[in-house]
Amino acid sequence: MRAPAPPRRPLVRWLAAAVVAVCAAAGLTALTAAPAAAVETNVWYRIVNDYSGLAVSIESGSTTAGAKSVLATASSATNQQFRFVDSGGGYYRIQARHSNQVLDVYAKSTANGADIVQWSDNNGTNQQWQVNTQSDGSVELVNRNSGKALDNWERATTAGSRVSQYTRNNEETQHWKLVPVGSSAAGNGSLTDPNVQFYGRWDRDDAAWYQMGWAGGYVETAFSGATIGVKLRGTIDMWYSIDGGAETWMRAVSGNVTVRSGLSGTHTIRIGFRERAGSYTGDPSFGGFILGSGGATSSTVRPGTHIEFIGDSITVGQPNANRPFSTYAWNSAEAVGASHMQVAEGGACVSPTDCRGMMDWFLRTTNQDANDLWEFNTYETDIVVINLGTNNKVSAAQFQADYITMLQRVRQSYPNAEILAMGVFRERLLTEVQNAVANRNNAGDSKVHYVDTRGWVDPATDTSDNVHPHDAGHAKIAGLLTPVLRQYL
The whole-angstrom separation of Cα 144 and Cα 150 is 11
Identify whether the C-beta of residue 41 lies closer than 8 Å to the C-beta of residue 86: yes
Q: What percent of the chain has pLDDT over 90?
A: 77
Read off the pLDDT of residues 328-377 as tens digits, 9 standing for 90 and up: 999 999 999 999 999 999 999 999 987 889 999 999 999 999 999 999 98
- Average pLDDT of span 77-104: 92
- Order of strands across the sheet that contains 202-203: 202-203, 210-212, 285-291, 228-232, 256-260
Read off the pLDDT of residues 250-308 as tens digits, 9 standing for 90 and up: 999 999 999 999 998 889 999 999 999 988 999 999 999 999 999 999 877 778 789 99
* 11-180 CATH pick, 3.30.1490.20, 2.80.10.50, 1.10.1530.10, 3.30.1280.10: 2.80.10.50
CATH 2.60.120.260 domain range(s) in the chain: 197-298
The whole-angstrom separation of Cα 153 and Cα 38 is 26
Q: What number of residues does the chain have?
A: 489
Q: What is the DSSP letter of 194?
A: T
Strands 383-387 and 356-357: unpaired
pTM for this structure? Answer: 0.67
The whole-angstrom separation of Cα 175 and Cα 152 is 9
The whole-angstrom separation of Cα 310 and Cα 386 is 5
Q: In the CATH scheme, what is the homologous superfamily, with its name and number, of domain 306-486?
A: SGNH hydrolase (3.40.50.1110)
The whole-angstrom separation of Cα 464 and Cα 468 is 6
CATH 3.40.50.1110 domain range(s) in the chain: 306-486
pLDDT at 183: 59
CATH 2.80.10.50 domain range(s) in the chain: 11-180
Nearest residue to 288 (alpha-carbon basis) of 206, 365, 382, 175: 206
User: What is the distance between the terminal CA atoms of the chain, rounded to a whole angstrom?
Assistant: 37
Cis bond leading into 324, ω under 30°?
Answer: yes
Q: Which residues pair with 219 in a beta bridge?
A: 198, 271
pLDDT at 298: 85
Identify whether the C-beta of residue 262 lies closer than 8 Å to the C-beta of residue 151: no
Domain 197-298, classified CATH 3.20.20.70, yes or no: no
